[in-house]
Amino acid sequence: MISKLHNSDPKIYKFIEQEKKRQQEGLELIPSENYVSSAVLEAMGSILTNKYSEGFPNHRYYGGNPNIDLIELECINRAKKLFHVEHVNVQPYSGSPANFAVYNALLEPGDPITGMNLLDGGHLTHGWKVSATAKFFKSYPYHVKPNGRVDFDELWNIAKEYKPKLIWCGATAYARTIEFEKFSEIADSVNAYLIADISHISGLIVGGVHPSPVPFAHVITTTTHKTLRGPRGAMIMVTKKGIKKDPEIAQKIDKAIFPGLQGGPHNHTTAAIAVALGEAAKPAFKTYAKQIVLNAKTMAAEFTKLGITLVSGGTDNHLMLLDLSKEGSLGAQLEYAMDVAHMTANKNTIPGDLASPYYPSGLRLGTPALTTRGMKEPQMKQIARWIVDIINHIKPYRLPEDKTKRLEFMKTFKKKMDKDVFLKSVAREVMNLTSQYGTNT
């Protein structure tokens, strides 16, 4: 049966089909990516996208929203029950707007803040210098120690010297357990808000394989499309501790989203988030979360066995960061070579990286999408071996010391890799593996 999209816009239909083929034939190893269920896709593609719904349930600026109210309230209630929180806003368009809304709600321009340094595994919106969060607030980032773990001594010193009004915990490239209680002790010592950004680990928390920040944080932000396995959206949650610190904090959060930053919510996304939360509440999700971590630990152990250095020496969660500094700054080359071999990952800086973020010394890998497809420990070992084979294959292609020559070097490198016989052979093995696993839950 030919789809309506095929008839009305064959070019876009073709591009979507190409992307579907890429996702089915390849291995998605980016830790912030996942495959949603058919039910989530159905909600995302529903007629709810037609409706404008500025405001909140039972308080809209447009008529015709009784069904939208029911959907949003159901989504909120599912999130409150799943995460054990007092208040939830499900309207943020994505993670960065959600985080900026927290600033908007709780701070004044120029207030001091602290979050994990981007190059150490933090997020842009936690105060990195090129982000608006550093433009409007005074950012004093903390770092990780040489062992790849948070330097709490440094954070204590930052707290004592600069008295931040807001402290972020959570990261995008941190392979260890987030120690929420330690962050809480520091935040409480200076009467700061503690905001836990659990975007990467929300599914692991729901699945019981990572501690929850709820007893320690005042506010929690999360995207919904990573380990939670939902659509590309976000939520802001307020805890009992947050309400105790500021009884009006929930209202401040809501006002910061609308009318503070956004207009009408994306109702189709809200419905899809509700579906994903419903899926995450089922017993099978706990089994899934446990397998994500088991797969990551298995893959990390195989890398170590094969002589690859990992930042912090391993992983406690869903991701790992390869330290390729000994092999040269291979992050960009490895990312591209893996693409040719039908494996998708992302180049990444490592703590203290002397290389450019465009040509970094690391590669970030994760197991959520692989686990969604049903892959387990044997497949993780095989994938690690493929990646190490590729690393060894491209070692001769070291970046030029002269930075002005790197762009041309990468152009030449990519042309060679596109025709590389070895990478093509790995791609065939990858496709043989992926043909045995679907992409929808």
Q: Is residue 99 scored above 80 in pLDDT?
A: yes
How far apart, in whole angstroms, are the C-alpha atoms of residue 377 and residue 301?
Answer: 11
Q: What is the reported pLDDT for 354?
A: 83
Is 232 a residue of the active site? Answer: yes
How far apart, in whole angstroms, are the C-alpha atoms of residue 221 and residue 104?
Answer: 14
pTM exceeds 0.85 for this model: yes
Q: Is residue 271 scored above 90 in pLDDT?
A: yes
Q: Which of 54, 154, 185, 377 is catalytic?
A: 54
Q: Which of 133, 221, 223, 269 is catalytic?
A: 223
Q: What is the reported pLDDT for 441?
A: 56
pLDDT band at 328 (very low <50, low <70, confident <90, very high): confident
CB atoms within 10 A of CB 166: 24
Is 160 a residue of the active site? Answer: no
Q: What is the reported pLDDT for 211?
A: 98
The domain 283-434 is placed in CATH, from the list 3.60.15.10, 3.40.630.40, 3.90.1150.10, 3.40.630.10, at: 3.90.1150.10
Task: Tell me which DSSP letter residue 144 carries.
Answer: B
CATH code for the domain defined by 42-280 = 3.40.640.10
Question: Of 52-61, 279-288, 348-357, which range is least confident?
Answer: 348-357
The 10s digit of each residue's pLDDT in 392-419 is 999 999 999 888 999 999 999 999 999 9
DSSP helix/strand/coil, 18: helix
DSSP helix/strand/coil, 308: coil
Residues of each annotated binding site for (6S)-5,6,7,8-tetrahydrofolate: 118, 122-124
Pairing of strands 87-89, 234-238: antiparallel
What's the average model confidence in pLDDT over 181-207?
98
Q: How would you classify residue 156: left for phi > 0, otherwise alpha for psi between -120 and 50, otherwise beta?
A: alpha
Q: Is residue 226 scored above 90 in pLDDT?
A: yes
How far apart, in whole angstroms, are the C-alpha atoms of residue 223 and residue 93?
Answer: 9
Domain boundary assignment for the chain? 42-280, 283-434
Contact present, 199 and 223 (Cβ < 8 Å): yes
Residues of each annotated binding site: 118, 122-124
How far apart, in whole angstroms, are the C-alpha atoms of residue 176 and residue 39?
Answer: 32
Structure tokens at 384: 């690690």
Is 151 a residue of the active site? Answer: no
- Cis omega (within 30 of 0) for bond into 57: no
Is 349 a residue of the active site? Answer: no
Question: Of 70-74, 226-230, 326-330, which range is least confident?
Answer: 326-330
Q: What percent of the chain has pLDDT over 90?
A: 95
Is 197 a residue of the active site? Answer: yes
Mean pLDDT score of the chain: 96
Contact present, 300 and 315 (Cβ < 8 Å): yes
How far apart, in whole angstroms, are the C-alpha atoms of residue 65 and residue 341?
Answer: 48
Contact present, 232 and 397 (Cβ < 8 Å): no
Q: What is the reported pLDDT for 186?
A: 98
The 10s digit of each residue's pLDDT in 13-46 is 999 999 999 999 999 999 999 999 999 999 999 9
Q: Bridge-partner residues for 412, per DSSP?
A: none
Q: Is residue 440 scored above 90 in pLDDT?
A: no
Q: Which of 13, 52, 93, 162 is catalytic?
A: 52
Structure tokens at 202: 């929300």
Q: What is the reported pLDDT for 353?
A: 87
Handedness of CA 183, 318, 240, 234 (dihedral sign): positive
Q: Which of 226, 229, 245, 406 is catalytic?
A: 226
Q: Which of 197, 316, 339, 353 is catalytic?
A: 197
Residue with the bigger pLDDT between 329 and 279: it is 279
Q: What percent of the chain has pLDDT over 70?
A: 99
Pairing of strands 87-89, 112-114: unpaired
Is 52 a residue of the active site? Answer: yes
Q: Is residue 55 scored above 90 in pLDDT?
A: yes
Q: What is the reported pLDDT for 2?
A: 62
Q: Which of 149, 182, 232, 385 is catalytic?
A: 232
Q: Bridge-partner residues for 238, per DSSP?
A: 87, 219
